[in-house]
Structure 1
C-alpha cells in the first residue's frame, strides 16, 4: 500500500532577522543533512518558502557559520541567509530529525583514488536518519549516485528501523542541480527532477519542491532520476573532451580553434558550443560519470564513451604543461628554473571552489619539470599540490612582471587584457587566441 501522509505544513514565508527568536521556537519541518555546496541552497530555499528548516552537519565550522549568518560556501549569499534568519539554523546533533516532516540527504558522493564510487558519506547519513526515523516522514536523497542506490542500499539501511519504505515512510530521489557562480539560474528557476519509490512518494516530493522551484519533472522511479543527473554531467564531460581533443588537433594543424568554434556556433540548430581549457574540474563532471561507468561495468555493459572522455580530459593538464615547456624553449628559456605563474586555481571562473581543479595536475607536471611555480587567485589564500604549498602572489602586477611565463588556468574577471599586457609570455588554453605576448590557444 502506498504511503499516505499529510503534506508538509506551510509557513508564513521568509522571516526577518528580528523574527528569529519567535520563529526558532517552531517545530522543525525540514531537515537538510549536509549543508555544503548543494545542501545549503536547498535549506535556504526551503526556509524561504516558509518551512522551519534545520541543517545537520558533522562540521562545527559549517554549523557555526550558518548560525551567525555567514555563508560558508559560495552557492549562497549573505543576503540570502539574512533573508531566512528566522527560519533556518544548523546543528551537529541529529536528535531533532524525528520531529521533521521531510529529511533531505545532501552529503558528498566522491570517488576514491582509484576512481571508484565512495558511497560511505551517503550510507553514514542514511544510518543516522535510520536511528531517528518515524512513521510519516519523507526521506529525499539529493546526493549524486548511480541508478539503484536509493531503492537499494539506502532503502535497506532505512528499513533496518523496522519501518517499510512506501508504506510507513516516503522515499524519493531528486538530484541537486547547483551551478556555482551562475547568476542566471538559481534554485528557484532551475527545474527539479523527482523520482519516488511509489506514486504517493513522488507526489509528496513534487509537492514539496513545487513550492521551492518553478517547475518539477517527475520520473518513473528513483532510478531514472539518478540516471538523469549522471547523463547531464556525462553529456558535458563528453563534449568537453571532444573540444579539448579538437583543440590539440587544431594546434598541430595551425588552425585557430577559437575562430573555428565561433564559426560553428553560428549554426542555429544541431550544435552547442563547448570551449577547451586546461582541464575539467569541479565536483560533478570529473566524478559523476565514473559512478555510471562503475555501475555499467557491473552490469556487463562498458560505458566506453564516458571512459574515453575521462581519459582525454585528464590528459589536458599534461598537454598544457608540454605547451608551456615548448613556449619557453622557443624564447630561449629552459623550463628547469623557469618562474611560472598560474592565474586562477579554482575549477571555474569567479568562484572559490578548488575541487578537482586542473591547476593541481598542471602544477604537478611543471614542478616535476623543475619549474618554480607560484599562483594568484583572488578567491584562494593558500594552495597546495600534493602537500606542497605553492607560493602565493599577493601583488599581481609585480608577479606578472617577474614571471617568465604566465598560464591562465581560470579566467577570473580581474584578469583583464590590459593587466595581462605586462607579462613576458602568456599561455591561455581557455581563452580566445591572439598573438600578442605569445598568447595562444
Structure 2
C-alpha cells in the first residue's frame, strides 16, 4: 500500500469543502482601494462577505449604497448588499464568524523610510482575539519578504493555535491599479502562496474561485518579493528617464521625442515616462521595504536607493524650471508670482492623492515665496495628510479664462483628461508642462515650456 506524501489536516479538508461549495464566510479587513474591490469580486463569485474597517464614514457610505472607490460602482455595491452577499462593520468581534480572513491594510513608511507595520500588527492582534481552528488568514498588504512568517504568524500563534495544523496562513500581493479600466480585480492574475502544503492548497482554491488566473509560488516570502520586484522595476526605470530628462534638457533635446522614437524598436526596449515625481501607495514606498530588509543581510541596494534619490529630487527640479521660465519669459521672480497647479491626484483620472508630487510642488513654490492654488476635477478639497497639514482644506479653483488669467503661470502636474488644455494655452502667459500633454494633443504655443 502506497503511503500518501501528505495527509491534509482535518481542519483543512473541512475548509476546502466549504470553499468548493461557496459556503465559506469571507472577511476582508480594510475597505480601501484594495479591500473594497476584492470584497465585491469575492461576493460576486458567490461567497458571503463581511467587510471590516475602522472608519465609520465608510460604513455610512456603504449603507447608503454609495461607493467611494472608482473601481466599484454604486450599482455593484448596492446589488451585493441587497442580495445579502456583502455587509460592512466596524465590529471586529465578528471576525469569529469568518472562515477566511483577508488583510488589506496600509503599510506606509516612517519619516526615516523604515517600514511601518503597525496596521498589520494591530489587525493581527484583532484577528488573534477571536482566532479559531479551521480559519485561513491571508495577508495582501505589500511588505518585505518574511513578514507573513516573521510578524503575522507569531502574533496568531500566541493564542496556542499552530499555523498549518489548527489555522492556515497565506500571502497574495494586491495588484490594483486605480484608474486603469483595462483590468479589474477578477481579471488580474493573482500570485498566491501558503505557509505549508495545506495552506497553499486552500489559498489557491479560494482565489481560483474568485479570479480568472492564479499563479502559485513556493513560499510566502517569494510572493512578498514578487510584489516588491514589480514596483522596484517601475521605480528604477522611471528614475532612469527622469535622469535622462534632466541631461537631455541641458543638451536641448526633448526626452519625450526620444522615447517616442525609441519605442518603435520592436524588441529590447520598454517605454517609461518622466514626470514631476512619484506618487501613489506603491512605487514611492515599496522599494524601501526591500532596502530596509536587505540591511539584515548586510547587502546594499544601490540601484533602489539611487532611484529613490532621483525620483525624490524631481519636484525641486520642476520648481527650478518654473522659476527660470518665469524669469526668462515673464521677467518675474517666483517669489512674486501666483501659480496654478493643474492636478492634485498622483495620476490622471483618479481622486487618489497619496504621496502625490503635486503636494510637494505646492509646498516648494510657497517655500520660495510664491503663491500656489490648484485645480483638480477629482479632488475638490485637500484632505488631512500626514506630511502636508498646512494644505488641509484648500479647495480646487474654477478653470475658466478669468481665473487662469489671474495667475502668472500654470504648472501641469497631473494630466487629467477632463481639463481644457486648449483654453489653458490661450489664457495663460506661461505653462510649465511636466507630462507632455500639450504635444500629445497637438496644442502648440510660445507660452508652453516642458519640464
Give the TM-score of the pair, scaled to structure 2: 0.91
Q: In structure 2, what is the Cα distance between the partners aligned to 1:76 and 1:11?
A: 26
Q: Which residue of 1 aligns with 2:375?
A: 376
Residue 414 of structure 1 deviates from its aligned partner by 1.5
Q: In structure 1, what is the Cα distance between the partners aligned to 2:332 and 2:179?
A: 37
Q: In structure 2, what is the Cα distance between the partners aligned to 1:91 and 1:57?
A: 7
Q: In structure 1, what is the Cα distance between the partners aligned to 2:111 and 2:194?
A: 32
Task: Describe the SS at the equivalent of 1:73.
Answer: coil
Q: Which residue of 1 aligns with 2:409?
A: 405
1:249 aligns with 2:247: yes
Task: Describe the SS at the equivalent of 2:447.
Answer: helix
Q: In structure 2, what is the Cα distance between the partners aligned to 1:436 and 1:191?
A: 46
Task: Describe the SS at the equivalent of 1:402.
Answer: coil
Q: Which residue of 2 aligns with 1:176?
A: 174
Q: What is the Cα-based RMSD across aligned positions, in Å?
A: 1.8
Task: Describe the SS at the equivalent of 2:348.
Answer: coil
Residue 391 of structure 1 deviates from its aligned partner by 5.7
Residue 167 of structure 1 deviates from its aligned partner by 0.8
1:424 aligns with 2:433: no
- Once structures 1 and 2 are overlaid, which stretch shifts more, 373-382 or 418-427? 418-427
Once the two structures are superposed, what CA deviation does each residue of 1:19-69 show, in whole Å capped at 9, x if it has no partner?
Answer: xxxxxxxx8700001111111111111100011000111111112212221
Task: Describe the SS at the equivalent of 2:186.
Answer: coil
Q: In structure 2, what is the Cα distance between the partners aligned to 1:399 and 1:115?
A: 39
Q: Which residue of 2 aligns with 1:24?
A: none
Residue 9 of structure 1 deviates from its aligned partner by 3.2
Q: In structure 1, what is the Cα distance between the partners aligned to 2:414 and 2:21?
A: 43
Q: In structure 2, what is the Cα distance between the partners aligned to 1:399 and 1:288?
A: 39
Residue 438 of structure 1 deviates from its aligned partner by 2.4
1:42 aligns with 2:52: no
Q: Which residue of 1 aligns with 2:28?
A: 32
Once the two structures are superposed, what CA deviation does each residue of 1:318-337 show, in whole Å capped at 9, x if it has no partner?
Answer: 00000000000002111112
Of 225, 235, 244, the residue aligned with 1:237 is 235
Instruction: Give matches, 1:318-357, under 5 Å.
Output: 318-331=316-329, 332-357=331-356
Q: Which residue of 2 aligns with 1:76?
A: 72
Instruction: Give matches, 1:59-138, under 5 Å.
Output: 59-85=55-81, 86=83, 87-138=85-136
Is the CA contact (8 Å cut-off) linking 1:8 and 1:102 kept in structure 2? no
Of 376, 391, 398, the residue aligned with 1:388 is 391
Residue 435 of structure 1 deviates from its aligned partner by 5.0
Q: In structure 2, what is the Cα distance between the partners aligned to 1:392 and 1:206?
A: 45
Q: Which residue of 1 aligns with 2:4?
A: none
Q: In structure 2, what is the Cα distance between the partners aligned to 1:137 and 1:358?
A: 41
Residue 170 of structure 1 deviates from its aligned partner by 0.8
Residue 11 of structure 1 deviates from its aligned partner by 9.4
Of 5, 16, 19, the residue aligned with 2:13 is 5
Is the CA contact (8 Å cut-off) linking 1:178 and 1:187 kept in structure 2? yes
Q: In structure 1, what is the Cα distance between the partners aligned to 2:24 and 2:30?
A: 16
Q: Which residue of 1 aligns with 2:146?
A: 148
Once the two structures are superposed, what CA deviation does each residue of 1:85-105 show, in whole Å capped at 9, x if it has no partner?
Answer: 221110011122112110001
Consecutive aligned runs of 4 or more in structure 1 exceeding 3 Å deviation: 8-13, 388-392, 432-436
Q: Which residue of 2 aligns with 1:202?
A: 200
Q: In structure 2, what is the Cα distance between the partners aligned to 1:271 and 1:404?
A: 40
Is the CA contact (8 Å cut-off) linking 1:328 and 1:405 kept in structure 2? yes
Once the two structures are superposed, what CA deviation does each residue of 1:70-129 show, in whole Å capped at 9, x if it has no partner?
Answer: 112233221221331221110011122112110001111111111110001001000100
Q: In structure 2, what is the Cα distance between the partners aligned to 1:202 and 1:419?
A: 56
Unaligned stretches of 5+ residues in structure 2: 1-6
Cα 1:391/1:58, change in 2 over 3 Å: closer
Is the CA contact (8 Å cut-off) linking 2:380 and 2:395 kept in structure 1? no
- Once structures 1 and 2 are overlaid, which stretch shifts more, 187-196 or 428-437? 428-437
Residue 231 of structure 1 deviates from its aligned partner by 0.6
Task: Describe the SS at the equivalent of 1:9.
Answer: helix
Q: In structure 2, what is the Cα distance between the partners aligned to 1:260 and 1:204?
A: 49
Residue 436 of structure 1 deviates from its aligned partner by 3.6
Cα 1:99/1:250, change in 2 over 3 Å: same
Is the CA contact (8 Å cut-off) linking 1:11 and 1:52 kept in structure 2? no
Once the two structures are superposed, what CA deviation does each residue of 1:344-366 show, in whole Å capped at 9, x if it has no partner?
Answer: 01100010010100011111111
Is the CA contact (8 Å cut-off) linking 1:11 and 1:51 kept in structure 2? no
Q: In structure 2, what is the Cα distance between the partners aligned to 1:414 and 1:57?
A: 32
The number of equivalent residue pairs is 428
Is the CA contact (8 Å cut-off) linking 1:75 and 1:178 kept in structure 2? no
Cα 1:387/1:10, change in 2 over 3 Å: same
Task: Describe the SS at the equivalent of 2:101.
Answer: strand
Q: In structure 1, what is the Cα distance between the partners aligned to 2:380 and 2:334?
A: 26
Residue 343 of structure 1 deviates from its aligned partner by 0.3
Unaligned stretches of 5+ residues in structure 1: 14-26
